Structure 1
């Protein structure tokens, strides 16, 4: 059994180094698909939140690296690792993973096709990883400056999203249920750009009653307030979401300056704010019947 584990670790390291050559940051995983290295702070409940600033291994996705030397050190510290995880949301690919599950009793592939028909997008040719349970991981690339969060079954039943702070099990990893592998004809591909109509669906819903605010205020001041309420770490995300809603409802040009001003007040630079709004304008489908008073449907 030990020989098999050593072979699995050697193969996992080789696959991890190959992924790193493609710009994908990796960490070692155990057979349970969890990070192989435990937190160095696990026995200290009073320890401050640490994302690796202490210099030790064991911080999950925050250990992820594309540096071959560091990757070898990570695997050397976890000789029981049989797989590797690929960190999502990092440059240069800004990876987003669509996890189509088969264990929830729902047809997640059909749910994704229904979403595509309803919102007029097509999943492009991209990397697809087949899981031992029969599921699929679809790899997409997000736009710069936009943080796509993790979510579970929010997009549709059986569809989980792996975004910033999350990771995907890399192809070639061996788990307790079997081996992950790429679908035929996709191993050589780079993660394809996330479809413009899909991206807004992956963003977190607003915490306030945004549709009601927009309906009540035909000039979209609710969207401006939504941006003003952003905290550090969510400023670009909130601005992008608000700009998408504005352009969907024909308010984009009218609200641009107000959205820029609101974003600057939260701490973004004017250049960052305008770049995010331009991205939203390019990625948001315009509904021909949408007018200044139209209210977007929430999905």
Structure 2
């Protein structure tokens, strides 16, 4: 399924601030919803996302009993969502820039900023191919497809800094399904070619040489993510930035990467690995325009 007309994109472009009214608006657009605990992500219904419906009477009853309930939307049927996380231990924005350079995230229909400062990119679900949910915690990137759900705007999450809202920050043009399997493959180093240092802070000559050889042999489409992964491993092992450059830059050049890309990727890996406290507004997407906006991720 390819949506070529932006008007066919099912998600509403504007929502009431009232949660019950917003839930009804989603349902009127053909998007099933279900209630979640106010300020949380936990479902209020017995079967969770499997109870989602577009029935106006059921939705009115749910939000009549729980007017502050958050809005859950099951994924995999109408929409799929790429979830870029921001945690105290790291952020998915460096990998997101890599995915963008590789042309793997084009075609989103809606961009939502999460309460943590992360990003949800909404795509139409592919009616021909079932995309299952998956997680790549080291990359801080998840995909919500079949068997998953997301909390949708204007829901809020209760934090020690108060209630923080999910906020739609941009609408795309010509939404189309995302190849989540290709993204998962890129974020998954091939086992037969992956060499981990034996322990954090312990480097031996042979594993480092093998890691550099693995980077040098990375195929087009996996080069940036592979270099990022390798640089993260060296950073975790305590190797300083100059030594990481000395080990990986020649290998990355052999793989076909440009020096500017290599520098940005290695520095991003060290920043991500060493992050201990990432403010919620750090690395947030900058948005130009509205319906035809594009997203630029700064460093």
Query: TM-score when scaled to structure 2?
Result: 0.50
Q: Structure 1 or 2: larger strand share?
A: 2
Higher relative contact order (CA 8 A, sep 6+): 2
Query: TM-score when scaled to structure 1?
Result: 0.50
